[in-house]
Structure 1
Amino acid sequence: MKVFLSHQKADSETAGIIATRLKLYHQIDVYLDVVDPNASTTGDDLGEYLRQQLSICTQLMAVVSAATKTSWWVPWEIGVATEKDYPIATFAGGYTTLPEYLRKWPYLQSMSDVDAYAEASKMAQREFKNRRTYQTDSLARRSSTKDFYRVLRSSLRQ
């Protein structure tokens, strides 16, 4: 399991805190461009590079704030993850109001919510592995993603 942390540059510190928590407390691997020297490319090259990184990941968490409104990449990354049927969640700390298109997925507001996300992620990964024995990868991914949403929303009371 590997989580792609999508964020606007202004939210790099928050994304770093979440990445550290997922790695240290939950042993979940994370892709975070802040620590990736190859992420400094631009344009089409960056788009292709990010698509490659997303294909290595199994889910996406978008870290959003008021600054996200100026980002073209965060919505693009969410779109790519949606096409892949990846579990998607949003971390909107503080008093950030989510745009309409992000309200369809679970949203996290605290580090304890990140912990609930990690547990739902681990459960979904186990379910995916179990389902792959008797389902196609695509069907197993869709089913385990639905389970992820159900479990996480229940934990978050959403």
Structure 2
Amino acid sequence: MDIDSILERFNWVENSSSIQDVYDYYRIHCCDYDLFYDKNFSEEKNDFYKQLYKVLNDRLENIISESNNSRKKKVFLSHSHEDFEYTYRVGSYLKKNYNVDVYIDELDSLMPSSTNSDTARRLSKKIETYDRFIFVGTKNSFKSKWCNWELGIANNKNLKGHLAFFVMNDHPAKSGIYDKNEYVGLYPFIWDKKVLDIESDENDLFVGYYKDRGNWDLFVPLKDWLCKNDNFFNTVQKNEKNKRE
């Protein structure tokens, strides 16, 4: 195992602008945890990962956005470490297409090498100070104690309007089948427009609720959800209510 061979798997990321590429990666690797991820850390392995993550962080920082949005927002990506490669692709896609800063804790050089209370304090502070919270939903993250803890921190911050789940479009939770994760129904999802049958030339992704929510048909473009300063869903709902009255 060497850094160069691992980095080859990331070479396409900076040049890809298709959300389908991100989905396809997960479909191919959804039955496996990261090919290079090793839970049994040693000092030697820890040094290896530090070098690897530094290179990947530099790559992520150097991705040039195609968006004209000047109001750059910070997005916290909650994920399982077993899904790092997938999460990196999600973050790269968001940065390239929506001009946001993304936080992936593996790439944080100040994060302790082994989890402890300092890990929790640093994660909590990041969640408190970042503008958006996206839960990268996979079979690993839904059962992760850390991911669910992070979700609780974001919820306590009153981020319900700025908190969303990013999962595959055919994930059962999007149809209201939560498999012991009923809390998922409280929050909006990030959707592909073709699944919603929405015609739009300017945006491929939307944020909104589905089916079991009273406002299930309320969707907003992802770029607006990422860029607005206030609780965008509450603002839209109030406007819709005023129109009906």
TM-score strictly above 0.5 = yes
Q: 2:92 aligns with which of 13, 17, 20?
A: 20
SS of residue in 2 equivalent to 1:61:
strand
Distance 1:61 1:88 in 2: 6
Structure 2 contact 142–148 (Cα < 8 Å) conserved:
no
- Paired-residue identity, %: 24
Distance 1:55 1:41 in 2: 22
Distance 2:205 2:106 in 1: 23
TM-superposition CA deviations, 1:109-142 (whole Å, max 9, x none) = 55932693233221x22xx3xxxxxxxxxxxxxx
Alignment partner, residue 119 of structure 1: 224
How high is the TM-score relative to the length of structure 2? 0.48
Structure 1 contact 91–107 (Cα < 8 Å) conserved:
yes
Structure 1 contact 11–64 (Cα < 8 Å) conserved:
no
Alignment partner, residue 42 of structure 1: 115
Structure 1 contact 62–91 (Cα < 8 Å) conserved:
yes
SS of residue in 1 equivalent to 2:168:
coil
Q: Alpha carbon RMSD of aligned pairs, Å?
A: 2.4
What pairs with 1:42-81 in structure 2 (closer than 5 Å)? Answer: 42-81=115-154
Structure 2 contact 94–100 (Cα < 8 Å) conserved:
yes
Structure 2 contact 225–232 (Cα < 8 Å) conserved:
no
Higher RCO (CA 8 Å, separation ≥ 6 residues) = 1
Alignment partner, residue 38 of structure 2: none
TM-superposed CA distance for 1:56, in Å, is 2.3
Larger radius of gyration: 2
One-letter identity of the residue aligned with 1:30: V
How high is the TM-score relative to the length of structure 1? 0.71
Alignment pair present for 1:147 and 2:239 = no
Alignment partner, residue 101 of structure 1: 183
Show structure 1 runs of 5+ residues with no match: 129-142, 151-158
Distance 1:28 1:45 in 2: 26
Q: Using a 3 Å threshold, how does the CA distance of structure 1 residues 9 and 18 change in structure 2: closer, same or farther?
A: same
TM-superposed CA distance for 1:50, in Å, is 0.4
TM-superposition CA deviations, 1:55-74 (whole Å, max 9, x none) = 22012000011112431111
One-letter identity of the residue aligned with 1:57: Y
One-letter identity of the residue aligned with 2:109: P
Q: Using a 3 Å threshold, how does the CA distance of structure 1 residues 14 and 114 change in structure 2: closer, same or farther?
A: farther
One-letter identity of the residue aligned with 2:187: W
Structure 1 contact 93–110 (Cα < 8 Å) conserved:
no
Show structure 2 runs of 5+ residues with no match: 1-72, 174-180, 194-203, 208-220, 238-245
Q: Using a 3 Å threshold, how does the CA distance of structure 1 residues 4 and 113 change in structure 2: closer, same or farther?
A: same
Aligned residue-pair number: 132
Q: Using a 3 Å threshold, how does the CA distance of structure 1 residues 64 and 38 change in structure 2: closer, same or farther?
A: same
